[in-house]
Amino acid sequence: MKKLGKELFTNHGADILSYGGLVLCVLIFSFLSEGKIFSAYNFRILIQAVCVYAILCMGAMFVYAMGYMDISVGAQVGVYSILCILIANKTNSVWLGFLTILGLALICGFINGYVSVMLGLPSIVTSIFLMSIFSGIQALIMEKLALNSVAITCDMTQYKDTKFMIAMIVIVAIVSIVLFKYTPLGEVVRSIGANEHATQYSGINTTKWKVLAYAFFGICVALGAFLLTARTGAAGKGTGNGYAMDIMVALLLGGMPLSGGMRSKISSALIGSFTYVILSNGLILSGVDTKLVYIIKAIVFIAVILITCRKKDGVLPR
Amino acid sequence: MANFKKIAALGLAAIMGLSTLTACGKGGSSDTTQGGSTVETKHHKIGVGLYTDSGKAVEAIKAYLDGISKTVDCEFSYTTLSTYDEATNLTEVQNLISSGCEGIILTADMGTTSIIKECAEANVYVAGFLCDFNQSMFTAHEEVFENEYFLGTVCDGWADATPYGEQVADEVIKNGYKSVGVIVFPEYAYPNQTVVAKAFTDKINEYNKTADQKITVKEPTVLNFAPLDATYFSENADIDCLFSVAAGASFVYPQMVAANRTDIKLYTSGFEGTEDVENFGANGNGAFRGTMCSAPEAIAYPLCLLIDKLNGTVYKDLPATERVDCQPIIILSDDDLNKVKEKSLYFSADYKDALITGEDIVNMCASYNADATYAQLVEKLQHLGVNDL
């Protein structure tokens, strides 16, 4: 029995901890918030808050599974939201706004995936480059508009409806799981994360799959930006700020290995997003002082890292 | 098994730790004494979204609300807003609503349209404090100011702070400075700062018309929410005074120290209560010569409006939703500073120094005092300056 338990924990330790963390969060905050966490209103706002994170995280899984990271996502979300609003306001078509940012996101995915290989640069370098470019564009647009924030004039109510947002999470989750588990794309990105050189030596064109992984991430970024715009109805100089770090934290809370590889799972994105949002929501509902919220989040983060990522030999898990 | 024990221990520790950090709510009504008679007050939970999570102003606001909480029978829940991200603010407000807040006081105008929409759907009222809601005023007036769930706002001092610009100009003339630099935040974000800078420049230009020794005023430098560029002092080596309408203590003074130019006299706005006190007038290096901030007690305005609305009563003379001024605390001399240090709630964060007490607030609410008027409430805000300490 003891051996079985040990085996179970060795093989599924990260899963047990990530699911356990989510359940623990729900239990603790349902007790401390006197059940407010389960109210219909709170459920709606949790879905609204989770939706963007979950979609971005599921896209990011394909990048993180390769052992890479993208820090340009926040700046991209900011610019896409602003552009979506400006185009929709000008043309009175929300869809035209979405298709434009989708096109842009795919181009950026191509730059991230292909150019870094062509120039022999680590993907983090191209993402830094993109982050700088997008941050600059965001600031320039807002200065040109002489506004702190620009609001959408088209009606986007239907896109911030809870049912629509749940449907979006489910659709993206299904597509992501299929791509990640049942197509060569998922297999190759995990394989790159486990050992890129070995993957190349086995005759796989890694460049092609990297570009495809970044392209899927781009689609998720565009969709995330669109849903964020629907939710807030406005965008400005600071829109998207902090998303790169939030995604990283959410993935780690979901049990994603820092170095990517074969143990990467789409469930990490979903579990991590829910845990991250419930943690923030629950602390406020429980009446915890705002100053302490940051400290508690940091402690939880460190605890998760220590439990899920630290190994006896000091090497990150693959 | 050992791992399970560790996790269980962690879980229990988390529950115990958080339990000690949480506050218990209460409901119903209670009595408070007002002018010898007893007034039955109704309990409300009010959310307060502050523009930052630390600093002298935040400490004072929290101390003030803690001090009046029992008397006005309100429980306050705090959150930190962003001054540049709509999504953050919407999420924070949603969390406050979810935690049971019936009214919300906002100190930042970012994402206000969607916030008001959300609050209207949840039947939660909103009022402003330390914020002129300029953007909403001019780009979303109908959605915000004409929405019945937005009750109005009290500005951070004056909505048009022209008088401060003129007072600083008078000080510059009186002290005989010869070359003055002017620093503002971008006009799109803080249009009033440009107006203040213009009022300052106009007054100096007026003086120059008849003066023997003219004062040079530099073109305003725009700070993009980042510290002043290090090259500013080499490019403007001749300046002996700076008027940073933009927060000078945080964005300009450290650069003055780094450039070894603390000989320049600095007039600014905002009050950190740290280096700006240590180096004001006759103290320290004497670089700080003037500043302006708002009294935490001005929160009485949104609070009274929210309490009345939640109690279902309004002032007989309540006008359409508006933004009102409050008398700012203007510190232009050592005497002013000493007064603020010794007597103001802003500096001491001690409720006993409050210029508006909990009893005053109850007395100013139409729902607790049938004779209370909106005019009296607005008038009270005009007595929060240095001379009122």
- B123 shares contact with chain A (CB less than 8 Å): no
| Residues near B148 by beta carbon (within 8 Å), at least 6 away in sequence | B120
Q: Are strands B150-154 and B125-129 parallel, antiparallel or unpaired?
A: parallel
Proportion of chain B above pLDDT 70, given as a percent: 90
Q: What is the percent of chain A with per-residue pLDDT over 70, rounded to a whole number?
A: 92
Of A28, A41, A146, the CB nearest to B98: A41
- Per-residue confidence (pLDDT) for residue B187, from 0 to 100: 82
Please name each of the domains of chain B with its CATH number: 36-157+295-328+350-388 (3.40.50.2300), 162-293 (3.40.50.2300)
Contact B76, B46 (CB under 8 A): yes
Of B18, B80, B84, the CB nearest to A28: B18
Between residues B265 and A202, the one the model is more confident about: B265
Lowest mean pLDDT among A2-11, A136-145, A284-293, B319-328: A2-11
The dihedral through the CA atoms of B246, B248, B250, B255 has a sign that is: positive
Q: Is the CB of B96 less than 8 angstroms away from the CB of A284?
A: yes
Closest by alpha carbon to B18, among A252, A14, A308, A24? A24
**Structural domain contains residue A3:** no
Q: What is the ipTM for the molecules in this complex? A: 0.82
The predicted pLDDT at position B21 comes to 47
Q: Give whole-number Cα distances, B26 to A45, A311, B44, B262, B311, in Å.
A: 24, 47, 9, 52, 17
Distance from the Cα of A255 to chain B's closest Cα (Å) equals 15
Instruction: Indicate whether A198 belongs to any domain.
Output: yes
pLDDT bucket at A315, cuts 50 / 70 / 90: very low
Min Cα–Cα distance to chain A from B224, Å: 10
| CB-based contact A148 B110, cutoff 8 Å | yes
B-chain CB neighbours of A49 within 8 Å are: 91, 94
Nearest to A74 by CA among B189, B51, B91, B85: B85
Q: Is A231 contained in some domain?
A: yes
Domain annotation covers residue A5: no
The whole-number pLDDT of residue A201 equals 87
In a domain, A109, yes or no: yes
The shortest CB-CB distance from A234 to any of B97, B114, B224 is to B114
Domain assignment present for residue A163? The answer is yes
What CATH code is carried by the domain that includes residue A241? 1.10.3470.10
pLDDT of residue A264: 85
Q: Provide the token pair at A42.
A: 């709170």
The DSSP letter of residue B131 is: -
Residue A180 belongs to some domain of the structure:
yes
Instruction: Count the neighbouring beta carbons within 10 Å of the beta carbon of residue B207.
Output: 15
- Chain A positions touching B191 (Cβ under 8 A) are none
User: Which residue range forms the structural domain that includes residue A151?
Assistant: 37-308
Set of chain A residues whose Cβ sits within 8 Å of the Cβ of B22: 32, 286-288
B90/B274: higher pLDDT: B90
